[in-house]
Amino acid sequence: MLPPLRETLVTTGRLVLAPPFKADFAEWADIRERSRAHLEPWEPHWPQDAHSKSDWSRRLKAWHSGWRKGRAHVFLIRRQQDNRLVGGVSLTNVRGWPAQAANIGYWVGEPYEGQGYMQEAVGTVCAWAFQVLDLCRIEAGTLPNNERSQRVLAKVGFEREGYARDYLEIAGKREDHILFALVRPTSQR
């Protein structure tokens, strides 16, 4: 059974991961806009109205629908000490049996890069997905030159599995990606 959206809260030593809601708009738009130059090279092309209320409404509707259908689980990442929004992590393309797999994506606001938040959040959301969603495999792809993201994945236990040509559209152009996966240990199945 899927966890209820409003009741889902995942915590770590320093962070709280929670689904996004209407009240998160202003802080989300602010950190993403202030981090625009930092984030845009690594993400799909941003719409003309990026970070507007209509953009937020579209995203929120899609995220909540994905959660209800069990196809996507999007979390905002906040620091426990001050409730400051530092980034986001998502499990998308969630596939049930026999695959029991999903893709992971994540972003961190520029002021919070290099502080270990993403490693902590990615590791925690993967453990949550294995336990709560009963996934057996979580997949990730990074641009070949995104060494920071590759280090996050490696520290969490992801292993490199391959190279995919023209894998995703990033910043308006089809890009090759290095593929990684984290497989739930057999002892936890």
In the chain, which ranges are continuous DSSP H helix?
A: 25-34, 36-39, 53-69, 117-132, 147-156
Asked if 141 and 179 count as a contact pair (C-beta separation under 8 A), the reply is yes
Contact 180, 158 (CB under 8 A): yes
pLDDT digits 0-9 by tens, 66-117: 999 999 999 999 999 999 999 999 999 999 899 899 999 999 999 999 999 9
The single-letter code of the amino acid at 116 is G
Q: Per-domain residue ranges for the chain? A: 10-188
The CATH architecture assigned to 10-188 reads: 3-Layer(aba) Sandwich (3.40)
pLDDT number for residue 173: 92
Q: Is the pLDDT of residue 187 over 70?
A: no
pLDDT tens, 140-182?
999 999 999 999 999 999 999 999 999 989 988 999 999 999 9
Q: Flag whether pLDDT at 25 surpasses 90.
A: yes
pTM of the shown model: 0.92
In terms of Cα–Cα distance, which of 97, 99, 116, 120 is closest to 181? 99
Q: What is the pLDDT of residue 186?
A: 74
